[in-house]
Amino acid sequence: MPTNQALHLAIDQIKTFAPWKVFWPSDPLALANAHTNLFAVVQFISPQYWRITYTDQGLRYLRIQTETGFEVWEPSQLYQDYLAIDLRSEPAFTKKVAGITEPLHAEDQATIETVILQLVDLLQQLPSHKRITTQLDQHKVPFLQFTETTNHLSFKQFKLPRQSALFSSIKTTGLSRLQNAPLQPLSVEFAVTYLPQQVTNTQEKAFYPQLLLAMDHTSGQVISQDVLDPKLTEAENIRQWLLDLLQRFGKPSNIYTHFGEGQQLKKIATKLGIDLVTDVPLKYVGQLYQALTSELAQV
């Protein structure tokens, strides 16, 4: 879908700010317009992939509970239903519902343009790096509120599900014997995503299974392509996969992954001396996912 010049210029300005160097995906940037009732959350999953979660019904639509000083949002609203901006080549815009790509309509395109232009305003008003870091340490994130005539930047305290249940750290117990094992000349691409087709469980409930993909970052050889066990948590599934990887290949020198999976692997990678890389595109994992999607489309 064609985009206007103002949107491209705004995207270039955001690249210049490089906010992903300061704000992790767990540090969203929030925009609220009192006149139009648009409320949006922007997350930088990586320098090349940005997410916009939004509603035209105001902040209260995403709020499911209020705790002392905190806003709590429904996880599916933040992590499965969103607009995405992919900058790996030319800017590409997609819409995800329950993690699955749907057609992008004119109103979605208009929302992307509005949010990105407002995001530039937010970034231009940010204080010093030191003050931002202080605010983030207190779980306070930038919040830009618009009225018909002006806008105001403040820092609000948000508690996102991502910070606990959705991206819990993988247990490091039982791995001491591997700490001094030599690193192998292996670099692994790894990601957890959704299978792009619903299945029905034993209770006849339809859902999108999660898929774990792992590739050799150098050769492109498939290491793993497994559906996660729904009886285990995502962290437990990842731990089980990692133990199997260590048994088969030894300790890899590098694991390339997304920010979310990186948060889960952080402690275990540090303990084992594995270099964790989260700012490099997962070329081969992306190719494998596209191949699987094409196969399923033909079934």
Band the pLDDT of 137: cuts 50, 70, 90: confident
CA–CA dist 293, 42 (Å, integer):
27
User: How many domains does the chain contain in total?
Assistant: 2
Residue at 227 is within a domain:
yes
Q: The domain that contains 289 carries what CATH number? A: 3.30.420.10
pLDDT for the residue 161: 44
List of residues 6+ apart from 153 with CB closer than 8 A? 122, 125, 126, 142, 143, 144, 145
pLDDT band at 72; cut points 50, 70, 90: very low
Torsion sign, CA atoms 48, 23, 152, 12: negative
Q: Measure CA 117 to chain center.
A: 21
> What pLDDT, in 10s, does the model give residues 178-205?
888 899 999 999 988 877 667 777 776 7
- The answer to whether position 173 is within a domain reads no
**Bridge partners (DSSP) listed for residue 216:** 188
**Does 70 have pLDDT greater than 50?**
no
Same domain, 157 and 197: no
Residue 175 near residue 195 (C-beta atoms within 8 A): no
Strand partners, 224: 214
Confidence (pLDDT) at 135:
87
- Indicate the pairing of strand 251-256 with strand 151-159: unpaired
Q: Is residue 174 part of a domain?
A: no
On whether both 133 and 213 belong to a single domain, the answer is no
Backbone φ and ψ of 298, nearest 5°: -90, -10
pLDDT of residue 235: 83
Whether residues 63 and 21 fall in one domain: yes
**CA separation for the pair 145, 34 (Å, rounded):** 7
Q: Which amino acid is at 74?
A: E
Q: Do residues 208 and 76 both lie within one domain?
A: no
The pLDDT, as a whole number, for residue 7 is 92
Nearest to 270 by CA among 259, 281, 260, 262: 262
Within this chain, do residues 52 and 156 fall inside the same structural domain, yes or no? yes
Residue pair 126/132 in contact (Cβ under 8 Å)? The answer is: yes
pTM of the shown model: 0.53
Percent of the chain with pLDDT over 90: 27
Q: What per-residue confidence (pLDDT) applies to 168? A: 64
> What pLDDT digit, counting tens, does each position of 227-246 carry?
888 888 888 899 999 999 99
Vertex 134 angle, CA 128 and 171, to 5°: 130
Average pLDDT of the residues in 263-290: 84
In a domain, 66, yes or no: yes
pLDDT reported for residue 69: 36
Q: How many residues does the chain have?
A: 299
In whole numbers, what is the pLDDT of the chain averaged over residues?
Answer: 80
Which of 128, 163, 198 delimits the end of a domain?
Answer: 163
Residue 113, pLDDT > 70, answer yes
Query: The domain containing residue 55 runs over which residues?
Result: 5-163
**Residues 155, 16 share a domain:** yes
Q: Is residue 171 one of the residues assigned to a domain?
A: no
- Which residue intervals of 54-210 are DSSP H helices? 75-79, 106-124, 129-137
Give the least confident one: 40-44, 109-113, 162-166, 280-284. Answer: 162-166
